[in-house]
Structure 1
Amino acid sequence: MKVAILMSTYNGEKYLKEQIESLQKQTFKNWELFIRDDGSTDNTVPIINRLQRQDSRIHFMHDEKVQLRPMKSFLYLLSKVSADYYFFCDQDDYWLSEKLDSMLKRGKLDKPQLVYCGLKCVDQNLKPLKNDFENMMGTIWDYSRFIGNDMPGCVMMFNSKLRDIVISSTKNYEGIVMHDWWIALIAQTFGTIEFLNKKLILYRQHGNNSIGAGKNGSLIEKILQRGVIKKQKNLVYQTYNQSLVFYNTFKDQLTENDKVFLKDYINSPNKGLIYRNSLFKKYNLRGTSTIRLLAYKTLFVFNLNNILKDSK
């Protein structure tokens, strides 16, 4: 069984060594780490080179492209590495020692499969933070994944069959929000998804996060922060656009039920308020929380056309 851990780095010198040490402390030892750097200007590359010399399981994937950003960088790695199971790894988190072993025990190779675990939000010193983000894992399923995502890439494990669909179908990155969300949609549609309700990652929050759990505090406090409405409008635009790209990519492979849902969703701008509102009940669309769903639904029902027009 070949297990590949994929890591994309960028100016990660501060926490990189500690993260890789957490991989080396895993109870499951038969893994390989493949690292691609996205043009770091700090000591990230020398750290990788040193660790690679010390541990034969670590591989530095050299290429001339820089500034691909996380989505393209992780998908590039995925296209270059063959394995039975894949894990995405951020440069600044910390994996608990049983993460690989616990997740691999749920693995199957007979059909496309994705397993994801929980996480614990921590500060830069790995001390626990109060952040509602960690409680959003495992809260979305079925068609609700088209309007929200409850799994960052670092909590994922997926098999070779799912990887092959992702690589063979993802030719154009336009419209894809993030690699993890795109893979979750493919797994939901063509395979299986299982949530392992264990917090197996310390998800470090600090000023240099590329993507993180957002501001600390309650959902009410977050809603009252400046710029939240703009972010929610952007989410409505992104999810609509990503669903359109997904339909156009896979329309010849979709089941009839999936086609009907996506057509109903994609045709929403041409319909009225009652139609858009009814979609949420018809397909049991849920969010990671009641408040988040309410914000999304309100904007989608009453302001979808303006959001799509303004975002062009």
Structure 2
Amino acid sequence: MTTAAVPIDTVSIDVVMPTYNGAAYLGAQLSSLQHQTHMPRRVMICDDGSSDSTGLILRRWHKSWSAVDLVEADEPQQGATRRFHHLLTTVAGRGDLPDLLAFCDQDDEWFEDKLERAVAWHRQQDAAVPALYCSAAVLTDQRMVPVGQSPKWRREPAFRNALVENIALGCTIVLNRAALELLNREWPRGVIAHDWWAYLVVSGAGGQVYFDPEPSLNYRQHNRNAIGMAHSALGQLVGRIRRIATGQMPPLLAQARALADAYGDDLTPEARQQLDRFINVQKTTGNRLTALVAPVVRRQRLIDNLVLRLMLAFGTLR
């Protein structure tokens, strides 16, 4: 459902960014935020206990750019997911909620029209319905030299996909106020990642999720955040089977159970039915066989669906 377009220059956006030992690239990222064609109202930053000069850089930016708002950490070194949650609840706890909320990493560089493009999509949506915008990204090395591109997902975002796969790259996510309010509650221990959780909750609650195939930023890759580049189909299959055998697959069922506990009453009837089927998929041989013939979940790629079915058949989902 769409509504009459809201004038683009009246849309307020807050940006939330956790930092941790990000001194090497933080200045370039903040500069890219400062040069957006649609300027953010606030850039709320929470440091996670850095031991380098990140704190000094943040204090300098706080003095030179009035939009920068430094948020004190509740507890240090809690990791990105908990830090994003802390920032989100801090924004929601203030009286002047933004129209939109953008997630931001400390070491990327945004294209100057990143926020403008997200606003253009959001202003065509019903503001009362939770909505999430995300996009592709240009993958770069540590020196910001392009080396590839994140996947251009072909299938539409959907809850049955969100149960087993995240297509919403966190640093590209822009939420509307309804989605912000939906996510503003305690997150259970089973959450795999903040971006995946946002995709899962918004899609399950009947919200709108849009994947923009055009990149909106340069995504700097390093050891902590590398996205795997595409290889041959055989290579992908071998890699996925190896991850299954070594227990490196994310705990999908644990996250699904966490969703049922935290948001069971907020899901659409269809999503709740899909969630219950998925949670119980490995409990009996009959459930496994049914899932092989009529799967309740799906991933974006054919090869990933094959691996998923193998996991269901052998009962290795956790």
Distance change in 2, residues 1:231/1:194 (3 Å): farther
Secondary structure, in 3 states, of the residue corresponding to 2:133? Answer: strand
| CA shift for structure 1 position 203 | 0.9
Post-superposition CA distance 1:99-123 (Å, at most 9, x none):
0001111114232111111111111
2:168 equivalent among 151, 160, 180: 151
Answer yes or no: is the 8 Å Cα contact 2:140–2:147 preserved in 1.
yes
The match for 2:261 is 248
> Does 2:62 correspond to 1:46?
no
Post-superposition CA distance 1:128-180 (Å, at most 9, x none):
1135x433486642312101111121111111111111113xx2431111111
Query: How well do the aligned residues superpose, as a CA RMSD in angstroms?
Result: 2.4
1:206 aligned partner, one-letter code: H
The match for 2:315 is 303
User: What stretches of structure 1 move > 6 A for 4+ residues in a row?
Assistant: none
Q: Which stretch of structure 1 is more off in the superposition, 15-24 or 275-284?
A: 275-284
Distance change in 2, residues 1:137/1:50 (3 Å): farther
| CA shift for structure 1 position 127 | 1.5
Runs of 5+ in structure 1 lacking a partner? none
Distance change in 2, residues 1:15/1:221 (3 Å): farther
1:212 equivalent among 226, 250, 264: 226
**How many residues of Structure 1 are paired with residues of Structure 2 in the alignment?**
299
TM-score scaled by length of structure 2: 0.85
Fraction of identical pairs, as percent: 25
2:159 equivalent among 132, 142, 151: 142
| CA shift for structure 1 position 54 | 0.8
The match for 1:61 is 71
2:212 aligned partner, one-letter code: L
> Does 2:216 correspond to 1:200?
yes
The match for 2:27 is 17
The 2-side partners of 1:226 and 1:276 are apart by 20
> Does 2:37 correspond to 1:27?
yes
The 1-side partners of 2:228 and 2:54 are apart by 25
1:105 equivalent among 116, 120, 126: 120
Answer yes or no: is the 8 Å Cα contact 1:138–1:195 preserved in 2.
no
The 2-side partners of 1:292 and 1:122 are apart by 25
Structure with greater helix share of residues:
1
TM-score scaled by length of structure 1: 0.87
Secondary structure, in 3 states, of the residue corresponding to 1:135? Answer: coil
Q: Which stretch of structure 1 is more off in the superposition, 284-293 or 16-25?
A: 284-293
| CA shift for structure 1 position 230 | 4.0
The match for 2:143 is 125
